[in-house]
C-alpha cells in the first residue's frame, strides 16, 4: 500500500503558530517539564506526551466554556 502522508502535522491556521508555541511552553512550565526552544530529544515520551495531553485538555475545557456562554 502506498504512503498517503499528506503533511497533517501542519497548523490549520499558520498565523497561530506563535500563540501555540507560547501555550506549549506555558503548559510545560506548569507541569515542570524542562521544555526549551529547539531540540527536545532529551525529554522522555511521558514528558512530551504530558504536554500535548494537557494542552488538549485545556483547549477542550476552553471550548466547552465558550459553548456554554461562560467566558
Tens digit of pLDDT for each residue in 15-65?
Answer: 999 999 999 999 999 999 999 999 999 999 999 999 999 999 999 999 999
Residue 5 falls within a domain, yes or no?
A: no
Average of per-residue pLDDT across 3-17:
74
Distance of CA 62 to the CA centre of its chain: 14
Residue 71 has pLDDT above 80, yes or no: no
> For residue 35, how many C-alpha atoms fall within 13 Å in the half-sphere facing its CB?
21
The span from the first CA to the last CA of the chain, in angstroms, equals 47
Residue 37 falls within a domain, yes or no?
A: no
SS3 state of residue 16: helix
Expressed as residue numbers, the domain containing 54 is 15-32+42-67
Residue 24 falls within a domain, yes or no?
A: yes
Residue 19 falls within a domain, yes or no?
A: yes
Residue 62 falls within a domain, yes or no?
A: yes
Q: How many domains does the chain have?
A: 1
Helices (H), the chain: 17-31, 45-67
Cα(46)–Cα(31) distance, integer angstroms = 12
pLDDT recorded at residue 59: 96
pLDDT recorded at residue 34: 96
Residue 1 has pLDDT above 80, yes or no: no
Residue 6 falls within a domain, yes or no?
A: no
Amino acid at each position: 500500500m502506498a504512503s498517503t502522508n499528506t503533511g497533517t502535522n501542519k497548523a490549520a491556521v499558520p498565523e497561530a503558530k506563535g500563540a501555540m508555541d507560547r501555550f506549549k511552553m506555558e503548559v510545560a512550565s506548569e507541569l515542570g517539564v524542562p521544555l526549551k526552544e529547539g531540540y527536545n530529544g532529551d525529554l522522555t515520551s511521558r514528558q512530551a506526551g504530558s504536554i500535548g495531553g494537557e494542552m488538549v485538555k485545556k483547549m477542550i475545557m476552553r471550548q466547552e466554556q465558550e459553548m456554554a456562554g461562560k467566558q
